[in-house]
Amino acid sequence: MSALFINKTTTPSQCNDDARAAIRAAFHDCGTWDSTQGATGGCDGSLINKLLTMQQKYNTAASPVSVADVLQVAASVATLTCPGGPRVPTFVGRKDSATPNPDGRLPDCHGSGDSLFALFQAKGFTANELAALLGAHSASKAFNQPDIVPGTSQDDTPGIWDVHYYSNTLKPVPGMASFQGDFNLAVHPVVGKEFNGFVNAQGKWNSAYANAMAKMALLGVPGGKSNLIDCTGVLPKGTSVKREIKAAPINDRMR
């Protein structure tokens, strides 16, 4: 799976747009959940329920792999293909659902700091966990945003998992563009303190992100990880960060 997420045109390699999509998909499948849903919804594969029929037709193993699990494992692998990406505790055994999760439960890229913080509090996340999760935009590029040129990254090193995102959001540099909602959270009186705490703090952020994303990956899962199988140990080796990206195309270094 790792090979799907590596941009081999750079030396050393970086994570590519497919890796970005995998990380985003895992969040979007789980992130619609809030506390009113209990042990339903959330990480149930319904994000791509149109694929469920195909998955059920061809997956004839004694212990079939769910779409919900594929989404989470793919995100964990994709994160590790980004140089500097952490190892997120990863579990399998989720059940799929073809029932779409409710609309309006994902964050609005233009939302106010208060509304976005309240949205994540309803999912059980603290200000620190929210600030940590936002850091995934270190490896993101924006599409379908009316105020951002398609393909523009949210920090100046989108192929690398680093904390440039935090400083770049607070003080933008040429070639990148922040989501308005991210900036609103960065200057929020509560979340902003946590956000600022990750500036130039790679180790602190990696640890916080891994824990917050592991929590995200269990939203709506009956019994949480107690009913799942820990497969963290079979994830591939992470990609180290090199001090210089020698042959990276300019579009992958800064957009």
Active-site residues: which are they? 28
Terminal alpha carbon distance of the chain = 27
Which of 74, 202, 66 shows the shortest CA–CA distance to 138? 202
The letter for the amino acid at 36 is T
Burial 99-111 (b: 16+ CB within 10 A, else e): eebeeebebebeb
Token pair 């100046």 in the structure block, residue: 156
User: Cα–Cα distance between 89 and 75 in angstroms, integer?
Assistant: 11
Which residues make beta-bridge pairs with 141?
153
Cis peptide before 189 (omega within 30 of 0): no
Contact by Cβ (8 Å): 77, 22: yes
How far apart, in Å, are the Cα atoms of 75 and each of 59, 95, 175, 182? 21, 18, 26, 21
User: Cα–Cα distance between 196 and 187 in angstroms, integer?
Assistant: 9
